[in-house]
A and B are shown apart, each in its own frame.
Chain A
C-alpha cells in the first residue's frame, strides 16, 4: 500500500484545502467513467480515493500520522511491533553503558576476555542502511545521469545513475547510510529508482519502442522522416507502401547494455488527414486498384 500523501502528491504538512484540491484534480483525471477501458486509471482512481478518505478525515489522518493505522485505514495489529528489549538485546547503542560488568571485564580470565570481545564487536557494528526512493525521468534512466537527493535529516546525497537502469532497481551507495553507533563503518544508502513514463517512448528490456505517426502520402510513396531517439533525432527511411503496424528497426539506438546496445523499434501508424482533402477524395473516388487489393482478405 502506497503512502497516501505520495498518492495524492501532497506534502505531509498539506492543509485540508490542499488535500481536497489535489484529490479533485486527480479524480477528474482518473475517474473510470472518463477513462473507459483504461484499467490503470481505475486502479489509480481507487488508490486516490482511499488516500483521500484517509487524509480528509482529521481523526483518521492523525491516527495514520502517529502510525496507529496503515495506508489502507486498517489498524496496525501490534502498535509497537518491536519492544525495547528487541533493540537492547544487541549491543552498540548509547544506553548500554558498561557499569554492569566493569568489574568482571577487568580480570584476565576467560569470562573477562569474552566480555571484552563482545563489547569490541558491538563497537565495530556498522551503521544502519538507509532507504530512499528517487523518481527519475525516462531519458535519464536510459542515458544515465547524476541526481542529488535532499535528505530529510538535512544534507544531500549525490546519486550517479548508470545508463540503462530499470524501474524499481535499487542502487547501493556504500558508506552513505547511518553512522555506526560505535566506531564501526557507516551503513549503506539504498536508493530505489522509480522511472517516470515518457510521453512517447516505452521500453522493453534493452529495446526502445516508439509509435511513429506518418501521413498517407509518406506511407504510400515512402519518405525520410525525422524520428526521435533517446539520444536525439535521426532520419528514418520509410519504404514504399508501408502499413500501420509495420516495425522498422533502428539498430543500436536502444538502451546501452554491458554487451552493446538494444535497438529502437519504430512502429508505423498511418494517419488520415484531419481536414477535408477534396483532391484526395476525388482521386480515390476514381481510383481503380490495379491488383487484387482487399484489406480484409484474412477475415
Chain B
C-alpha cells in the first residue's frame, strides 16, 4: 500500500489534480477510515494517464473514454483467455462455443 503523500510524489501529481482524477473515476484508490491508500496498480494507471495526456495529446474529455474502453478490453481479453484455456482442457465438442 502506498500512502497519499508518497503517491502524489511518485505519480508527479498535486493534490487538486488527484481529487479531480478520483472524482472522474480515473483513479479508484482504497479509502480506509481517514485516508486514501494506493496500490502499485494505481501508480501504473497514473503513469498511463500522464502518457495519454502528455505524450499522445488525449484531452480530458477523451481520456475517460479511453480508460473505459481500455478496461473493457482487458476484461474481454481475460475472459477470452479463460475460455481458450478451458476449451483446451476439454475434449472438443463441436458447436459448444458457437451456439
A residues apposed to B, CB below 8 Å: 65-67, 80, 82-91, 93-101, 104, 109-111, 114-115, 117-118, 122, 128, 130, 152-154, 178-179
Contact = CB atoms under 8 A, between A and B. Distances in A.
Interface residues of B, number: 36
A137 B21 CA distance: 45
Contacts of B77: 89
B46 to A, nearest CB: 9
A92 to B, nearest CB: 10
B44 A83 contact: yes
B79 A89 contact: no
22 contacts: A80-B47, A82-B40, A84-B70, A89-B74, A89-B77, A90-B78, A93-B39, A93-B41, A94-B28, A95-B28, A95-B41, A96-B74, A97-B71, A97-B72, A99-B72, A101-B75, A101-B79, A109-B99, A110-B96, A115-B83, A117-B86, A153-B3
Given A83-B48, A115-B82, A97 B10 contact: no
A110 B86 CA distance: 10
B18 to A, nearest CB: 15
A84 B1 contact: no
A55 to B, nearest CB: 15
Contacts of B1: 130, 152-153, 178
Interface of B: 1, 3, 9-10, 12, 28, 30, 32-35, 37, 39-41, 44-45, 47-48, 67, 70-79, 82-83, 86, 96-97, 99
A66 B30 CA distance: 22
Contacts of A66: 9-10, 12
Contacts of A104: 79
B84 to A, nearest CB: 9
Nearest to A113: B86
Nearest to B4: A153
B89 to A, nearest CB: 11
B74 A114 contact: no
A78 to B, nearest CB: 11
Contacts of A101: 75-76, 79
B3 A86 contact: no
A205 to B, nearest CB: 37
Contacts of B45: 84, 87, 95
